[in-house]
Homo-oligomer: A and B are copies of this chain.
Amino acid sequence: MSFADRLLAAVRASKSVAVVGLDPRPDQLPAEFAGGTPADAVAAFNRALLETVAGKCCAVKPNAAFYERLGPAGMVALASTLKSARERGILTIADVKRCDVTDTAKAYAEWCGAWGCDAITAAPWLGADSSLPFVEACNAAGTGVFFLVKTSNAGSGDFQDREVAGEPLFLHVARAVSKWGEGPGAWSPVGAVVGATHPEQAVKIRAAMPRTVFLVPGYGAQGGTAAGVRAAANAKGDGVIAVAGRSVAMAWTREPWKSKFGEAKWREAVAASLDEMNRDLAGAGVAGGWLA
């Protein structure tokens, strides 16, 4: 079963295209996780968070940066988190944004197997010979890879928007990633990361990649909206999964959930914010076909 099929099954089972980011900062966790090492606190919080979001999202997405900054103990916490998610049947996308030259890319392409996750993110700018090893490893194992096509940060235009042969570079990248995923399925096994903060660009990228599932970061805290996610979808509203970072996983620190629940009821705040995100996306017509 391809990763695209597994992802679609998870979307239908959870009735959600939300992807919950797991990017914990040890000093910002609820007080109940204090004591012990920072890495232990992160792993314990993630276990509780996974229990809270199970059934309400199609996947979770830990970003490796927040584990690597804790050194080797942080990587043990990452592996523990991926294991907890697997035990709960929650799909995992490890946001690692790896890239390297061909032979080394093959070593990075072993990531899903080595760490026990369902998909990773990767950077495509080294070219086809250094990106296809990820595709081949994922196709062989039924895991997924999402290549960065257009990132959600304000400065992403510095290089990604530069004009190449009359078009922005990101459209050339989009077509290459689309080609790497050519095949018979309704949805490509090779995904793309397309920031929700650039809706007008997302429309162009969608036209270049009609079969590609987009992992759309930036919803919530980064300023992306449901309309931005919808812009990245196809005519039916399909082909997108949307990441919420701090807006869900840290919901109790943000209004209206801060006043309504506060830290003591952080689980309720997380659940309510995720429910609202799912309603917001559905209201904008996202996944209209997938969930019909």
Residues of A within 8 A of B (CB): 23, 63, 65-66, 68-72, 74-76, 78-79, 95, 97-102, 104-105, 107-108, 110-111, 114-115, 123-130, 148, 151-160, 162-165, 169, 172-173, 176, 217, 222
Contact = CB atoms under 8 A, between A and B. Distances in A.
B164 A114 contact: no
A114 B157 contact: no
A126 B153 contact: yes
Given A69-B114, A108-B65, A127-B159, A98 B97 contact: yes
A172 B157 CA distance: 13
Contacts of A129: 153-155
Nearest to A162: B164
Contacts of A130: 151, 153, 155-156
Report copies per complex: 2
24 contacts: A65-B105, A69-B107, A69-B114, A71-B114, A71-B115, A74-B114, A97-B99, A101-B152, A101-B156, A101-B217, A101-B222, A123-B125, A125-B148, A126-B156, A126-B159, A127-B151, A127-B153, A127-B155, A130-B151, A159-B172, A162-B164, A162-B165, A162-B169, A169-B169
Nearest to A154: B129
Nearest to A115: B71
B99 A123 contact: yes
Given A68-B114, A99-B97, A123-B125, A104 B23 contact: yes
